[in-house]
Amino acid sequence: MKYITEYRNKNLSKKIADKTNDYLKDYKGKISLMEVCGTHTHSIFHSGIMSLLSDKIEHLSGPGCPVCVTPNEYIDTAIAYSRLPEVIITTFGDMIKVPGSSSSLEKEKANGAKVKIVYSPLESLEIARKNPGKKVVFLGVGFETTAPLVASTILRANEEKLKNFFVLSGHKLIPPAMQSLLESGEIKIDGFICPGHVSAIIGETPYQPIVDKYGIPSVIIGFEPIDLLEGIEMLVRQIVEKDKSKVENQYKRVVRREGNKKALSLMNKVFDIKDSPWRGLGLLPKSGLYIKKAYSEFDAEKKINVKVEKTKTHPQCICGQVLCGTKKPFECTLFSKICTPESPIGPCMVSSEGTCAAYYKFKKQ
């Protein structure tokens, strides 16, 4: 299969891994590389990438799962909306099982709430058209990758003058999270594996201020084994050779330096950038996307009043620390015993992009 098997070639994979390991023969200490994309988390484990590389390279998973970084306050608000008889919740499937303070959308659906899984926010418009007596609330969770599509959906609803479609916006921006991890000083990060999907939208330049301020090499990397190994080799070379830290783009077949201008234009037209709460990271400045005043008629928080329960989290769940890279999933007393993909306690075990789910599936300890 052209352009798939080429990126999974075993001989080439070993050759690139050997080159990386050669860089580290005389290197003292360890190199910590963090990926900030849930798909990278899965790909790294699934491909067995780390088994090919020197044990001087330590792999850290960061806040790269949008479902996982969504705080309980948002989940509780979505659950509260689902309990209103006039509301239909539409959402991507990985939000269904995420536990809130006392329930989940899955449980609410079992109790009779109208919760529908969609594969595109545009499907929510059709549901709204067919149910004029209901208020359809789409859960806008995701990074820069999904935000443009949600923005275009809001614009379509505006063109059609749909009065019963709303979005509960919980979109997050990745670069502020990367900066927060470095500023916390809680974890040693020597290089960033930058997210391929997000970078396809935002391009290369948003990472430059992070590299300039903190001197941390950052490489945008694809998701196939060859992509990952080549990108890691680029990071290790920068670190070992003590070259001036820079942003490099391994994923040039997808990511342009300027990003996707049309997608960025859609985001800028519909959303404002404001401070936003993240699970594990707290309130981060200028890290969230909120619906602009011009489109406030589609803002669920502004148009649908609801009473939300007092938020609480499971006292033993360390999902927040896992998202920051300060803890590994197997350090959690709940991991694989009480907390499993079938019965998740924390969001990191829910989504396929979650670190705990990856550790559970691939038995990484």
User: Which CATH number is 17's domain given?
Assistant: 3.40.50.11750
Kindly indicate the confidence band of residue 364, based on its pLDDT and cuts at 50, 70 and 90: low
pLDDT digits (tens, 9 = 90+) for 6-62: 888 899 999 999 999 999 999 999 999 999 999 999 999 999 999 999 999 999 999
Extended strands (E) in 226-322: 247-249, 271-278, 282-291
CATH number at residue 113: 3.40.50.11740
For all residues of the chain together, what is the average pLDDT?
95
Assigned domain for 296 exists: yes
User: Are 77 and 121 in the same domain?
Assistant: yes
Q: Which two tokens stand for residue 175?
A: 């670069």
83 and 142 in one domain?
yes
Across the range 179-188, mean pLDDT stands at 94
123 within some domain: yes
In a domain, 294, yes or no: yes
Domain co-membership, 81 together with 139:
yes
- Could you tell me the residue range of the domain that residue 86 belongs to? 67-173+259-303
**Same domain as 226, residue 158:** no
Residue 308 lies in a domain: no
Does pLDDT of 268 surpass 60?
yes
Q: Is residue 96 located within the same domain as residue 51?
A: no
Do 43 and 138 belong to one domain? no
User: What is 165-206 written as a DSSP string?
Assistant: EEEEE-EE-HHHHHHHHHHH-SS--SEEEE-HHHHHHH-SGG
Whether pTM > 0.85 for this model: the answer is yes
Q: State the DSSP code for 335.
A: B
CA distance to 33, 155, 308, per residue, from 236 (Å): 9, 44, 47
Lowest mean pLDDT among 130-139, 169-178, 199-208, 347-356: 347-356
Both 193 and 111 in one domain: the answer is: no
Q: How many Cβ atoms are within 10 Å of 141's Cβ, its own excluded?
A: 24
Is 117 a member of any domain?
A: yes
Q: Is residue 314 part of a domain?
A: no
The mean per-residue pLDDT over the stretch 132-141 comes to 97
Bridge partners (DSSP) of residue 299 are 167
Do 203 and 230 lie in one domain? The reply is: yes
* Statement: residue 68 has pLDDT above 80: yes
pLDDT at residue 3, as a whole number: 67
Clarify whether residues 226 and 348 are in a common domain: no
**By percentage, how much of the chain surpasses pLDDT 70?**
98
Residue 312: inside a domain: no
Q: Is 168 in the same domain as 44?
A: no
**Statement to judge: residues 167 and 263 lie in one domain:** yes
How many beta carbons lie within 10 A of that of residue 125, not counting itself?
A: 21
Same domain, 232 and 83: no
Contacts made by residues 267-273, CB under 8 angstroms, sequence distance 24+ = 267/144, 267/147, 267/148, 267/151, 269/151, 269/155, 270/150, 270/151, 270/154, 270/155, 270/295, 271/147, 271/151, 271/169, 271/171, 273/173
The total number of structural domains that make up the chain: 3
CA distance 136 to 139: 10
